[in-house]
Amino acid sequence: MPTEDEDFPTGRDSHWRLLPHWVKAVTVLIGLPAWLVCVAGMLRGDFGSSYLMTAFAVFGCVALLQIVCTLRAALRMEY
């Protein structure tokens, strides 16, 4: 008999499950490195530098892409 945890996935699991495979690939291959560049730039104190702003913009675009795909799946009731 399944436990309650198996019946109701966590928010992160269900969010990741809703995304198409190509969005997952974009997140891992582009979004994660952009986030790492953002963190490294902030730790170095390079606020306002062009590479940090570019990495932040790329990370923001990937986040918006995830939000759009999640909302589309939720509106279609694909969860």
Q: 48 or 55, which is more confident? A: 55
Interval 10-27: pLDDT, tens: 555 567 888 899 999 999
Residue 48 has pLDDT above 60, yes or no: yes
User: Domain residues of the chain, as ranges?
Assistant: 12-75
Tokens of 21: 């495979």
Q: Tell me the whole-structure pTM to 2 decimals.
A: 0.76
Cα distances (angstroms) measured from residue 43 to each of 3, 20, 46, 54, 61: 43, 33, 8, 16, 22
